Structure 1
Amino acid sequence: MNARSRWLLISVGLGVLLNPLNSSMISVAIPKLQNVFQLDFTVVSWVIFTFYISSAVAQPVMGKASDLFGRKKIFLAGLVVSFISSLLAPLSPNFGWLIVSRIVQAIGTSMMVAVGMAIVRIHIKEKQATALSVLSIFLSGAAAIGPFVGGVLIQWWDWTVIFIVNIPFVAASFLLAWRAIPKDETPTPAARGMSLRKWFNLIDALGILLFTVALVALLIGLLSAKSSGHVSLGHIIVGGIGLAALGAFVRHELKTTSPFIPLRTFAKYPAMIWVNVQFMLVNVLFYAVFFGVPSYLQMVRHASEFDTGILMLTLGLCSIVISPIAGRWIDKSGPRPALLVSALLMAFGSVWIVTLNQTSPIISVSLALAAFGISNGMNAVGMQATLFNSSPKEMIGVASGLFNTSRYLGTILSSLLTSFVMGEQFSAGGFRLLGVILTVIALALIVMSLRRGSQDN
C-alpha cells in the first residue's frame, strides 16, 4: 500500500469513527444528563433513540445521494455538518436543543459512514482486503472505547466535552480528505438533469417519511404511557398514528419501484428474513447491556464516570480480540457453531445479570460484560457470513442495506426495552428484570441457531 493510499485510509477512518464513537460515548453520560436537565430516565433515553433513528434513515439516503452528487462531496459535507453539531450541542439551553443537535450529528456522521467504505473500495486497489479490515477496526474500535473515552472526559470536565472532542477528529479528517480523496467523476447527464421530484422518488422520500413517522409516533405513544403510568386518549391517538403510518409504509414499499426497504426481497428469499431477525435480536441483547450497565454502575453502584468507562472496556476489548479468532474458526467450520456458542454466552451473561445487586463484586459485572463482548465479536463475523451464504450474489448490495437497517432497529428496540422496564429511575430491581427478559431473548436465539443448523443439514 503506497503513501497516498495510507493517507486516504486514515482520512476516511477518522471520519467514519465519529458515528460509533458518538453513539457509544453517550452511554456514560445518561445519568449526568438526567441530573442536568431534571428529567426521568425514559425521557433522557431519547438522546439515544433520535441518534439511531436518524442514522437508520440517513445512511441509505446518503448512499444514494453519493451516486448522484459524488462521494467526496458527501464525505466533506458530512464533516461540516458534524462540526456544526459539535458546536451546537454544548450550547444547549434545554433538552430539546440537545435532541436537535444529536439528530444533526447523526445525519453528519452517517454521511461519512455511508460513503467511506465505497471510497476505500474505489480508490485503494492494492491490498484492498487489508484496507477494508483497517477501516473496520476504526469502526469497531471507536465503539469499543467510546464508553471509556466518555467516562474519562466527563470525570475530568463535563458532559459537553463529549461533543467538543469531535472537533479535532473532524478538522484532521477534513484536511486530509480534501487532499487525499481524489475528485469525484463528473455526474452522468441523467444525474445532472435530474429534477428534485425524480430524486425524491429515487431515494423514496415518502417511504422514509412514513418509516420515520411510524417509529417516532410508536415510541412516543409507548414511552409516554409508561412515564405517566396510565393510557390516555392522547397516547392512543399517537400510537394509532404510528400504526397507521406503519401500515401505509408497508403498502407503499410493496408498490414503489425504488423502495427504501425492499420488503418484496424478504418474500422472495425467506432465508434472509431469519438472518435479519437474528441480527436484530442480537443487537437488542448487546445494546441493552451496552447502555444498561453504565447506568447500573453509576445509579445503583454509585461508581464514577471514570470507573464506569474503565469497566466498560471489558466489553469492547473482548469483542475486538475475539473477532479475528472467530474469523478463522468460521472459515474452517462455517458460521453455525460460532453463532450457537455466541447465543449460549449471551444466555449466560443475561442469567448472570439477574444475580447482580448493589453489593455484587465488580468481577461479577466484568464476567457478564466479557460474555457479551466475546459473543459480539463472534456475531460480527458470523452474522455477516450467514448473510452472504443466504443471499444470492445479485442481491448482495440490497442484502447489506437491509442488514444495517436490522442493526439499527435492534439498537432502537434495545433502548425502548430498557426505558420501558426502568421508567422514571434506573434501579437494581429493574436491571434484574431486564436480565430476565434478555435471558428469554437469548434462549430464542439458541433455538433459532439450532433450527438453522438442522435445516442446513
Structure 2
Amino acid sequence: MSLLHRHPAARRDAPLAGVPTGYDRRLTPALALGSLLNPINSSMIAVALVPIGLAFGAPAAQTVWLVTALYLVTAVGQPVVGRVVDLVGPRRPYLVGAALVGVAGLLGALAPSLGMLVLARALLGIGTCAAYPAAMWLVRRATDRSGEDRGVAAVLTILAVTNQVTMIVGPTLGGLLVGVGGWRAIFLVNVPLAVACLVLGGLRLPRTTAADRTSDDMRDGTQDDLPRLAARLDVLGVLLFAAALTSLMLVLVGATPWWVLAATVVTGAWFARHELRARRPFIDLRLLAGNRPLLLTYARALLTATATYAFMFGYVQWLEQGRGLSEAAAGLLMLPTSVVAVAVASATGRRAPVRTALLVGSVSLLLGGAILAVVRPESPTWLLVLAGVGIGGMQGLAGLAHQKALARQADAATVGAASGLLRTFMYLGALVSTAAIAALYADGPTTAGLHDLALAMAACAVAVAALTLGDRSLRRRPATARTVPAPVPAPVPVPIPGENR
C-alpha cells in the first residue's frame, strides 16, 4: 500500500468495528492537546536559546541544534508515523508518542550537558509526530461513514484555532516559564502535558482491529507484529527518505561540504529508484507525479511556511536587537498576529472556499510584507502591529485552506501519511526561510536585512497567488460532501544558524 494508492469508495464507507459511527466529540480534548505538543515545544525554545547557551558556555552555532534536532526528526518522522497510523490505527502511536514526550521532558529538565538536551529535543520530535495524523485518521473515517458533519467541521476549526494560539503564544509562555523557573521549566512542563494526553487518550481513543483499517495489506487477518509491520512500511524506502531529507536539510542550514551535497544527490536518486520499483512503496512517486492538485497544495504550503517562519524568527530577532525590545516585550508584540489569526480562522474556517481563502491570504501577506519593508527602529508601535495583522490574516486563512485542499485530494486509506508529507513540505519551507535569514542577517538582524526579508515574504505571497489562480481544481466543488477540513499543523519556528545574539 503506497501513500497515494486509491481504494474503492465502498471500502471506505464500510462500518468500522472499533470506531463509532460519526465523530465522537469526546475525542476533541485528547486530539487538541496532543496536536499542540509540537508547536508549543517548537516556539517556547526560541526565548530559551540564550540562557541555555550561557548555562553551558555554548555559542549560538551549537545551541541552534536544540531546534534543528527536533526539526529534523519531525520532518522525517511525520509521514513515517502517519503511515504507521494508517496501518495500525491511531491509539497506539498516540499513546507511545505521549509517553516519549513525558520522558523527553524529564530528560531535558535533568540534562547535565547540551548534548543531552539535544537528545531530549530529538525525543520530543519523535513523540509529537503522532497526534496530527491520528486526528486526521479519526476525522476522515468518521466523515467517510456519516457524510458531511457540521459538528466535525466545528471541532476541526477548534483544533486549528488551538494550534494558531499555541504557535504565537508559545514564545510569550516560554518567556514566563524561563522567568519563573529557569530554562529547565520549558522541558519540565511537558511532563504534566504528557500525563494528560495519556489519560485522555487512554480513555477516549478507540481500539481498532485489522477490519477497521482501509489498507488492503491490513485485511489479511494477521496480527500486527513488528516483522509484518516492517514489511508493510517499506523500511528501506523510509531510511532512504530520511537520509535524503536529512542531508538536504543540512545543506539548507549551511552545512555544505561537498560530501553533504553529494549525499543529498545520491540518497535522493537511490530513494527515487527504489520507490519506483518497490511493490509497496512508501511514497508512490508515479501517482504523486500524476496528482497535480496535490503537488500544488504541497508547493503552496512550502511557500506560506517560508513566509511564516521568516516572520516568526526573523521579525522577532529584529524586534529584540534592531528595535531593542526585551524577549517578553517582543513576545507581546506578536500577540496581535495571534488574535487576528484566531479570529479569521474562527470566522471563515467552515465557510470560505479554498481558492478564495488562498487569494485573500496572499493579499494579506503581501500587505504585511510591504509594511515590514519600510519600518524603522523608531517606527510607531501601531505600524508594527499592523504588519503583524497582515501576517495573521494569512495564517488564519491559508492554514485551513491547505488542509481543506489535502482532505479533498488525499485518499482516506493513506490520509495519515499524506498529511505527514504535507508537514514535511512545511518544514522544508522553514529551512528555506532559515537559509534566507542566515544570509540576510549575516551582520546581525539589521533593519536593511529585515527589509530584504520582507521582500522575500512578499515574493512568496505573489507565488502563492499565482499557483492558486493556475490551479483549476480549486474552482470545482468536491464531488461529494464527505470531505471536511483537517486540523491545522502549527508552524515550527526555526532558529538562525550562526546568529550571535
- Classify the TM-score, shorter chain: 0.7 to 0.9
- Aligned-partner Cα distance in 1 for 2:281–2:261: 24
Q: Distance in 2 between matches of 1:56 and 1:256?
A: 23
After superposition, the C-alpha distances for 1:77-128 in whole angstroms (9 at most, x for unaligned) are 2121100100111333333322221110011121233324435666898944
2:235 matched to 1:205? yes
1:228 matched residue in structure 2: none
The answer to whether residue 179 in structure 2 is matched with residue 149 in structure 1 is: no
- Residues 1:416 and 2:446 are matched in the alignment: no
Partner of 1:22: 41
The separation in 2 between residues aligned to 1:37 and 1:428, in whole angstroms, is 31
1:391-413 residue CA offsets vs partner (Å, 9 max, x unmatched) = 68888676545433322322333
Tell me, yes or no, if structure 1 residue 88 matches structure 2 residue 107.
Answer: yes
1:187-336 to 2 correspondences below 5 Å: 190=220, 192-193=222-223, 196-221=226-251, 223-224=253-254, 235-327=257-349, 330=352, 334-336=353-355
Could you report, residue by residue, the CA deviation over 1:133-183 in whole angstroms, capped at 9, with x for unpaired residues?
433343333223222211222233322211111222222222333333344
Q: With structure 1 as the length reference, what TM-score do the two structures score? A: 0.84
| Shift of residue 211, structure 1, vs aligned partner | 2.3
Q: Say if 1:38 and 1:213 are closer, same or farther in 2 by CA, change over 3 A.
A: farther
| Alignment correspondent of 2:9 | none
What is the RMSD computed on CA atoms of the aligned residues? 3.4
Deviation digits for residues 41-97 of structure 1 (CA, Å, limit 9, x no counterpart): 555443333323322322332233345555323222212110010011133333332
Is 1:379 matched up with 2:403?
A: no
Counterpart CA distance in 2 for 1:119 and 1:339 is 26
Residue 302 of structure 1 aligns to a residue whose secondary structure is coil
CA displacement at 1:286 relative to structure 2: 0.9
Higher helix share: 1
Among 158, 175, 181, the residue aligned to 2:205 = 181
Contact 1:218 1:239 in 2 (8 A): yes
* Paired residues of 1:40 and 1:424 also in contact (CA < 8 A): no
> Could you tell me which amino acid in structure 2 is paired with residue 255 of structure 1?
R
1:325/1:71 CA distance change after superposition, 3 Å: closer
Matched to 1:312, the amino acid is: M
Q: What is the rounded CA distance, in whole Å, between the counterparts of 1:128 and 1:380 in structure 2?
A: 17
1:337–1:177 distance in 2 versus 1, CA, 3 Å: closer
1:343 aligns with 2:373: no
In structure 2, distance between residues paired with 1:378 and 1:222:
28
Using the alignment, how far apart are the partners of 1:346 and 1:139 within structure 2? 19
* CA positional deviation for 1:38: 4.9
Q: 1:251 to 1:175 in 2, by over 3 A?
A: same
Aligned with 1:170 (options 194, 210, 213): 194
1:218–1:242 CA contact under 8 A, matched in 2: yes
Higher mean C-alpha displacement, 235-244 vs 49-58: 49-58
1:431 to 432, 443, 450: 450
SS of corresponding position for 1:356: coil
Query: Hey, what's the Cα distance between the residues in 2 that align with 1:140 and 1:307?
Result: 20
The CA deviation at 1:14 is 2.3
Q: 1:139 aligns with which of 163, 177, 187?
A: 163
Q: Hey, what does 2:425 align to over in structure 1?
A: 406
Deviation readout 1:365-393 (Å, 9 max, x if unpaired): 22221111111111123333444566688
User: CA–CA distance in 2 between the matches of 1:406 and 1:14?
Assistant: 23
CA distances 1:169-219 after superposition (whole Å, capped 9, x unpaired): 222222333333344447879575566454333223222222222233233
Deviations 1:251-304 (A, max 9, x none): 222222333333222321223222211121111111111122222222333322
**1:44-83 to 2 correspondence within 5 Å?**
44-66=63-85, 69=88, 71-83=90-102
Amino acid at match of 2:265: L
* Alpha-carbon distance in 2 for matches of 1:425, 1:35: 19
How far apart are the structure 1 equivalents of 2:182 and 2:374? 33
**Percent of counterpart pairs with the same letter?**
29
Where structure 2 has 5 or more consecutive residues not aligned to the other structure, the ranges are 1-19, 212-217, 477-501
Normalization by structure 2: what TM-score?
0.77
Flag the 1:214–1:96 CA change in 2: closer, same or farther, 3 A: farther
In terms of mean alpha carbon deviation, does 57-66 or 366-375 score higher? 57-66
> Structure 1 pair 451/37, CA: closer, same or farther in 2 (3 Å)?
farther
For the 8 Å contact 2:75–2:427, the answer to whether it is kept is yes
For 2:128, what is the secondary structure of its paired residue? helix
Contact 1:31–1:298 (CA<8 Å) still a contact in 2? no
Q: Compare 430-439 and 122-131 and name the one that shifted more.
A: 122-131
Q: Is residue 261–residue 402 contact of structure 1 (8 Å, CA) maintained in 2?
A: no
Cα distance change on mapping 1:433 and 1:36 into 2, 3 Å? farther
Greater RCO (Cα-Cα under 8 Å, separation 6 or more): 2
Q: Which runs of 5+ in 1 are unaligned?
A: 226-230
Counterpart CA distance in 1 for 2:241 and 2:53 is 29
